[in-house]
């Protein structure tokens, strides 16, 4: 049985991706030793599924359609930044969400509920909606300073409407992950 890596996410519009990417490249030019994903791969993960049987794709999409029925489209502003696990030990640099955080958290809960019914284990960590912009390879004084300066700016990267939830396949390559849409679930339009 063929296995694929998959995750459920919210896509970002090109304008937001480009704004984030400009700042990521500033960090790179400053010399931050990190792996920086391409701007095309930016998204807000709702649930990482890991390796799944390819035959599960339709069952996952059906479960998501049932769980998200009646959920209305909502607005999100990508703004602010931070690190995991914390600023004094930056391993992952991210952009956060200012507007729409409550709605994304609700969406995450619905996705978790739907997929738990198919045997996927619930995430134990609290949900923190974010866009990963870099994975720090070497944490030194320079990395801490440049990341701290970046995080202090807390700028906005733009707003957009979340109108669908997407199931993606993650294809790992030496140049980084490539994401292929496997299907999506539309949210109800706001009238």
**Which pLDDT value is given to residue 30?**
86
Determine the pLDDT at residue 146: 85
* 97/172 Cα distance (integer angstroms): 27
Confidence at residue 140, expressed as pLDDT on a 0 to 100 scale: 82
List, for residues 80-102, the tens digit of each pLDDT value: 999 999 888 889 999 999 999 99
Q: Which residues contact 113 (CB under 8 A, 6 or more apart)?
A: 67
DSSP-based three-state secondary structure for 26: helix
Task: Report pLDDT for 181.
Answer: 96
pLDDT digits (tens, 9 = 90+) for 48-79: 999 999 999 999 999 999 999 999 999 999 99
Averaged confidence pLDDT in the chain: 93
Q: What is the pLDDT of residue 147?
A: 87
Question: Residue 56's closest CA among 123, 126, 109, 5?
Answer: 5
The helix (run of H) or strand (run of E) holding residue 111 is helix 101-116
Confidence class of residue 177 from pLDDT cuts 50, 70 and 90? confident
pLDDT at 123: 94
> What is the set of active-site residues?
43, 130
| pLDDT of 172 | 87
Quick one: pLDDT at residue 174? 83
Structural domains of the chain ordered from first start: 3-186 (3.90.1140.10)
Residue 14 has pLDDT above 90, yes or no: yes
> pTM for the full model?
0.93
């Amino acid at each position: 049985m063929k296995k694929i890596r998959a995750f459920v996410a919210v896509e970002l519009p090109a304008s937001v991706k480009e704004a984030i990417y400009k700042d990521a490249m500033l960090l790179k030019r400053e010399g931050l030793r990190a792996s920086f994903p391409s701007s095309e791969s930016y998204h807000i993960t709702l649930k990482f599924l890991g390796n799944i049987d390819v035959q599960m794709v339709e069952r996952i999409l059906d479960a998501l359609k049932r769980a998200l029925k009646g959920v209305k489209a909502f607005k999100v502003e990508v703004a602010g930044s931070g690190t995991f696990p914390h600023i004094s030990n930056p391993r992952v640099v991210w952009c956060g969400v200012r507007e729409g955080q409550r709605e994304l958290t609700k969406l995450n809960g619905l996705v978790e509920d739907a997929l738990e019914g198919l045997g996927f284990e619930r995430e134990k960590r609290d949900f923190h909606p974010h866009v990963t912009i870099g994975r720090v390879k070497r944490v030194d004084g320079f990395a801490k300073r440049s990341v701290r300066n970046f995080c202090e700016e807390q700028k906005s990267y733009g707003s957009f409407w979340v109108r669908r939830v997407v199931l993606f396949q993650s294809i790992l390559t030496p140049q980084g992950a490539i994401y292929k849409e496997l299907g999506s679930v539309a949210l109800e339009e706001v009238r």
